[in-house]
Amino acid sequence: MFLERRVSPSAPTELIELSGPDAAAFAQAQFCNDIAALTPGASQLNAWLNPQGRVRRLFHLLRAEEDRFLLLLRGGGAASLLPTLRMFVLRLKVRLQVLSGWHWAEAATDAAPPDGAWPLALPGGRRLLLREGAAVEGLPFAQTLARDIDAGLPWLPAPALEQLLPSWMEFARLGALSHHKGCYPGQEIVARLHFRGGGDKRVPVRLAAADHAALHEVSALRDAAGGEAGLLLQQVKMPDGSGLALAVVRRELAETGSVLQGGETALQVLPATWNATAAASETT
């Protein structure tokens, strides 16, 4: 599971477009974040859950116009998702289609976006730039991936799709979920875990490996006794050749310094940096 080979802003990206008079109603009824206050040009993190409350897809949702939304997926293919999503259109006047030929990159500065580019908000005050046709100048993807890991912001590889609860990835902290909106698929599970407890049995962690190359095909993680420990979501090569990764693991294994196994590779749990990152962004 080597994310950097499969997700890169240098290659054209497919989006999902929702358009039509009922596009907003469809998005509000299906996705777990509240789009009601989202104005044209604004964006948010959002997700589509299955009835068991597991995350089918995590994505950036841009309200391009009052009745037009663009979804940039953080893992999983757009074309493969579309048939399932269309099953829920019913009598709503909304069109769903895949758009090809888009590019994105993380903004390197706070300057105004280039012509034709949409800014997508990230936690901690960061921004992605999204544009159709021409490539977008920005930070190297490896740098963006490392910053995502330090922010606890996941990409979802294929083994993680429909496996993880929003609370295990701290969607509320990331601004990707609302506990105050109306019903949506999986909402009953999410609400019960939030208000009655039990949604924190797994947590996101940063991991370090001595050799990044050894992480290329790692997905499942094991504890010292060989038991199931969690899933590795994304990783990046650091300047010294080591690997930095983000995973979701059982809470009792998340203590700093704990060692997990990914195949034959040992990964050590690092201190969480996202709370400190969020605090710093609030004071700047």
Residue 283 lies in a domain: no
Clarify whether residues 145 and 270 are in a common domain. Answer: no
- In this prediction, residues 162-185 reach a mean pLDDT of 95
Using alpha carbons, list the distances in angstroms from residue 57 to 73, 86, 161, 168, 251: 7, 15, 7, 14, 23
Clarify whether residues 97 and 225 are in a common domain. Answer: no
Q: What is the pLDDT of residue 279?
A: 39
- Using the 3D structure, point to which of 194, 217, 244 is the last residue of a domain: 194
Among the residue ranges 175-184, 241-250, 271-280, the one predicted with the least confidence is: 271-280
Strand arrangement of the beta sheet that strand 55-65 belongs to: 43-49, 55-65, 68-73, 13-19, 95-106, 127-132, 117-121
To the nearest whole percent, how much of the chain has pLDDT over 70? 93
Residue 19 lies in a domain: yes
Rounded to 5 degrees, what are φ and ψ at 21? -55, -30
Count other C-beta atoms under 10 Å from residue 101's C-beta: 12
Clarify whether residues 42 and 84 are in a common domain. Answer: yes
Q: CATH number of the domain that 228 lies in?
A: 2.40.30.110
The token duo for 119 is: 């800014």
CA distance 127 to 121: 5
Clarify whether residues 37 and 170 are in a common domain. Answer: yes
Residue 124 lies in a domain: yes
Amino acid, res. 191: A
Q: What is the pLDDT of residue 14?
A: 93
Does pLDDT of 281 surpass 60?
A: no
Clarify whether residues 75 and 154 are in a common domain. Answer: yes
Q: CATH number of the domain that 88 lies in?
A: 3.30.1360.120
Reported as a single tens digit per residue, the pLDDT across 15-31 is 999 999 999 999 999 99
CA distance 272 to 48: 26
Among the residue ranges 3-17, 105-119, 188-202, the one predicted with the least confidence is: 3-17
Q: What is the pLDDT of residue 196?
A: 87
* Domain total in the chain: 2
Clarify whether residues 140 and 225 are in a common domain. Answer: no
Clarify whether residues 89 and 41 are in a common domain. Answer: yes
Does pLDDT of 69 surpass 90?
A: yes
Residue 284 lies in a domain: no
Clarify whether residues 20 and 148 are in a common domain. Answer: yes
Provide the whole-model pTM.
0.92
Clarify whether residues 19 and 82 are in a common domain. Answer: yes
- In this prediction, residues 194-221 reach a mean pLDDT of 92
Q: What is the pLDDT of residue 230?
A: 97
Our separate counts of H helices and E strands in the chain read: 7, 13
To the nearest whole percent, how much of the chain has pLDDT over 90? 81
Residue 87 lies in a domain: yes
Average pLDDT, the chain: 91
Clarify whether residues 105 and 85 are in a common domain. Answer: yes
The token duo for 256 is: 């700093």
Residue 63 lies in a domain: yes
Strand bridging mode 228-237 / 220-222 = antiparallel
| Residues spanned by the domain of 224 | 202-278
pLDDT classification of 152: cutoffs 50, 70, 90: very high
- In this prediction, residues 101-116 reach a mean pLDDT of 88
Clarify whether residues 172 and 240 are in a common domain. Answer: no
Clarify whether residues 190 and 218 are in a common domain. Answer: no
- In this prediction, residues 93-114 reach a mean pLDDT of 91
Q: What is the pLDDT of residue 10?
A: 53
The token duo for 221 is: 């993680």
Does pLDDT of 56 surpass 50?
A: yes
CA distance 168 to 199: 7
- In this prediction, residues 150-155 reach a mean pLDDT of 97
Residue 182 lies in a domain: yes
Using alpha carbons, list the distances in angstroms from residue 214 to 1, 226, 228, 253, 266: 11, 18, 19, 21, 9
- Using the 3D structure, point to which of 135, 162, 194 is the last residue of a domain: 194
- Using the 3D structure, point to which of 157, 173, 194 is the last residue of a domain: 194
